[in-house]
Amino acid sequence: MQYLHTMIRVSNLDDTLHFFCDLLGMVEISRKSNEKGRFTLVFLAAPEDEARAREDKAPMIELTYNWDPEEYTGGRNFGHLAFCVDDIYALCEKLQANGVTINRPPRDGHMAFIKTPDGISIELLQQGEALPAREPWVSMENVGSW
């Protein structure tokens, strides 16, 4: 058995691609639109998984954008996606500067939680050892849920 991808439905493809590609740094691997089915599929991979994703078609995130408006609920029961990051503080600073709420700040230098534009939780984990605790993260409270 081989893990292939996780599919999430998105309500605004441009906002979601901005979040995953521009802010988190993921890479678009492929895109397919289906006029008859009225949907677009976009497959993304983390930069360090790009070669494998292009060759093996895994591991990836599949964004499913249905052209006819739908309201998606239940993002919390999905659980979360998790990514290992090079510098959790730098990434959280970038995300926050671009309007992303840090729901669980990286107070411990190791873990943070954010949400996609459609409310899907993302866990960010510091690669290797936790970074030394520092402000403003140490003093930040949790916001909402994750």
Which residues are identified as catalytic? 123
Angle (CA) 125 129 132, round 5° = 95
Angle (CA) 120 111 137, round 5° = 105
Q: 133, 116, 25, 137: which is closest to 65 by C-alpha?
A: 116
The answer to whether residues 126 and 85 touch, using CB atoms and an 8 Å cutoff, is yes
Placement of tokens 């996606």 in the chain: 81
